[in-house]
Amino acid sequence: MSFGYSIGDFITIIRIAKDLHRRFREVPQQFSDIAKDLDSLRVLLQETYQKLPDHDTTPSQEQSLISIVGGCRSVFDELNGLLDKSNVNDQDSSRVRTWWKRVRWDKDKIGDFRQRLGLHVDILSTFLTHLNTGTIGQLKVNIDDIQSRGEAQERRQYNERLATWFSIVDFSTQQADFIFRRQEGTGKWFLNSPNYQQWITEPGKVILCTGNPGVGKTIIASLVIESVQELCRADDNMTFAFLYLSYQPQQRQTIRDLGCIVRQLIRCSESVPGDIQTLFDHHDRRKSLPSIADLSKALKAAVAARSRVFIVVDALDEYYSSSPSELEGFLSTLLHIQKESSLSLLATSRPLPDITSRFQGSLRQWIRANDDDLRMYIESRSPSLLRNRIANYPDLQDLVNNKVFTAADGIFFMLKLLMNSLNEKLTPGNLKRALQNLPCGDAGLEKLYDQAMSRIHSQPCDSKELAMKVLSWLVHAQLALPLEALLDSLAIEPGTVEIDRDFCPPVESIVSVCAGLTTFDEHSKTLRLVHKTTEEYFTQNWRLHFPEAHAFITDACLAYMSLDHFSAGACKDIYEYFRCLEQYPLYSYATVNWVYHANMAEKFPGFSLAFLQTPSENLSACAQFFIRRLDPWIDIGSFRSVRGVHLAALLKFPQILEDMIAAGQSPESEDGGGRRPLWYAVCNDRVEIVDLLLRKYQVDPNRSCGTDEPVLCLATERQSANVVKALLADPRIDPNVGGFRERL
């Protein structure tokens, strides 16, 4: 072994592998696979060291082995460095578990180390195979092939992590659904219009497509996206991105939707621009998210990397955000980048002044349902009238076509509702009478919704009850629920100890009992209200149709959180955490949003107070999910001994907290992670609870709450200005505590 790697060097690398494996003893479950990979690599290194002196190798083969062993050393050094940074020490066995609880590596980092360790296991296994079979001459080719495949896989994994870091939102399922629903031939008039032709052929153009509710703006957007996709498929130097904004999104829409655009643009590229990689690497090391300025820079870099970029944004008017400034910031950033590049931007919206004023000097296209498209839709639906017997009455069929076309008045969605209302007529006489009284215009749309609700109320009791439950969730849920979560919400009842999915109704039954007010998206597997105007109707009329909706939803959330499964307490590790989300799909929504629904109920529900008095294990599980939404890096295993006084501090009802304390719970009570009610209040920006704890109960504001930093520093990091002000108003506060001044 005289080829540049001495016996001493080999012994050193084997010793490092052994020591590193020892440091991984008694690891939590999520790190155990790394420990196994380390042991496999150590065994292979030992075997290579023992067998190599008995074989003749060429200088190039020896150089390959030097490279392999050097790669192993690089991975080992990086692992040791991270463990040193996390203060994981193998000398004191009594504290090994405690040290490991401090280690916060995300799933991607663990996967990255496993991939790199596995690659070296494969390479060394190949090396030993050639030694044992005498085919050492083929070694370099095989190792190069393994390394090449490993590098390609590593690049793909890196690019996927990078893209996901910018956004996890994917609109491809919506696009597939709209294409599926679109009537063949619909929208050709738009693609042939002069304004669209100018936009598609001249780089750097902006076009705003406006139209009244229900005229088919989203269908037009899907047609444009499909057309642009075909254009980009023929030219690798072109790319595109699109957003379907919604009044009821699965992810809350904010200015960070810029990240979704960046994600689409870079996922279509074989190579990611260097500026974007640098930005990602910088934040990846710090486990931080991109700022708005970062997203803007990344979008500029992604646009500059191609000769032509198209962006389509549908339904700006349905932008769902916490404040109007979100939409303003989104448009300002997008339009600013467009002016400095050849970006082609197309957006659709209702004709709202706050939106149209931002598109001064842009191309404009008014969207109104085309007469040919309307008649095509009527002709496709009319044969099913009178239980498929209308063909026996040709004059009546012509009357339907003409009357419905006139009443729709160019509104495609109203056309659909009109046909739905006629579909239930069983006799020619009833159909003729309905045609004489067809609703039309805005008042007619509301009348159609009233008629749909009348049909729901006239159903048998079970069907009516199911429809009202479904509509309550679809109208009031803070985010669109996945189908599995919605079905669980319909199956759960107060007092249930385990979810019985035999009580989950079929999707077809749900759509049927809701009288055309809901639609099921086959591609994204979500049930939603059929249109934005449907949501607007219920916003105005929900107290008339289901005044107890928020109380019902609160009941369902609390019943779900009280299931026997959660009496075992909080999840012990990240894998159990995600398994829980898969097994109980409503739990994440219930834990995060039950407070909102309880607050929106006419009176604060008494069952909420009863839940806060349940055993600590259920409360610990609830707190774990709620707080991890606020701080995803928090130690997942530290949620034990959570009491009602802790969760009450998350609410904005001081009386509830006072009731908990009056019942004997201490305002200084600590959970399993050492967190007090004051920490919970600060973490959820509850300034009124912070005031109550400081002034009435005189809790210590300088005392740390389960972390190495006092609550003043926590509030500063969370940029909670009102909470910081409330804390500084307390004369006992030490403004120098925990380096507070340095963080300002």
Q: In three state form, how does the secondary structure of 567-597 look?
A: HHCCCCCHHHHHHHHHHCCCHHHHHHHHHHH
Amino acid identity, residue 44?
Answer: L
Q: Is the pLDDT of residue 547 over 80?
A: yes
User: Which pLDDT does position 739 carry in this prediction?
Assistant: 47
User: Which pLDDT does position 198 carry in this prediction?
Assistant: 96
User: Considering only 48-62, 294-308, 357-371, 476-490, which range has the smallest mean pLDDT?
Assistant: 48-62
CATH architecture of residue range(s) 172-366: 3-Layer(aba) Sandwich (3.40)
Residue, of 47 and 575, whose pLDDT is higher: 47
CA–CA separation, 714 and 705 (whole Å): 10
- CB distance 566 to 622 below 8 Å: yes
Arithmetic mean of pLDDT, 236-242: 91
Contacts of 361 (CB under 8 A, 6+ apart): none
Arithmetic mean of pLDDT, 190-207: 94
User: Which pLDDT does position 134 carry in this prediction?
Assistant: 54
Residues of the chain with CATH 3.40.50: 172-366
User: Which pLDDT does position 2 carry in this prediction?
Assistant: 43
Q: What angle do CA 186, 187, 188 make, to 5 degrees?
A: 100
| Local confidence band at 343 (pLDDT 50, 70, 90 cut-offs) | very high
Q: Is the pLDDT of residue 437 over 70?
A: yes
- Please give the distance of CA 173 from its chain centroid, rounded to a whole number: 14
Q: In the predicted model, what is the mean pLDDT of the chain?
A: 81
How many residues in the chain?
Answer: 744
Provide the CATH number for the domain formed by 643-744 in this structure. Answer: 1.25.40.20
Arithmetic mean of pLDDT, 461-476: 94
Residues of the chain with CATH 1.25.40.20: 643-744
For the stretch 31-54, pLDDT in tens is 667 777 787 888 888 777 777 776
Q: Is the pLDDT of residue 96 over 60?
A: no
For the stretch 607-636, pLDDT in tens is 667 788 777 777 877 777 776 666 655 666
Residue, of 736 and 321, whose pLDDT is higher: 736
For the stretch 78-90, pLDDT in tens is 888 777 766 555 5
Q: Got the DSSP string for 199-255?
A: HHHSTT-EEEEE--TTS-HHHHHHHHHHHHHHHHHT-TTEEEEEEE--SS-SS---T
Place of tokens 């996709």: 229
Q: Is the pLDDT of residue 98 over 70?
A: no
Amino acid identity, residue 64?
Answer: S
Q: Is 202 left (phi over 0), alpha (psi -120 to 50) or beta?
A: beta
Helix (H/G/I), strand (E/B), else coil: 656: helix
User: Which pLDDT does position 93 carry in this prediction?
Assistant: 47
User: Which pLDDT does position 180 carry in this prediction?
Assistant: 78
CA–CA separation, 82 and 103 (whole Å): 9
Contacts of 155 (CB under 8 A, 6+ apart): none
CA–CA separation, 694 and 702 (whole Å): 11
For the stretch 142-187, pLDDT in tens is 555 555 555 666 676 777 788 888 887 888 888 888 887 787 778 8
Arithmetic mean of pLDDT, 318-335: 76
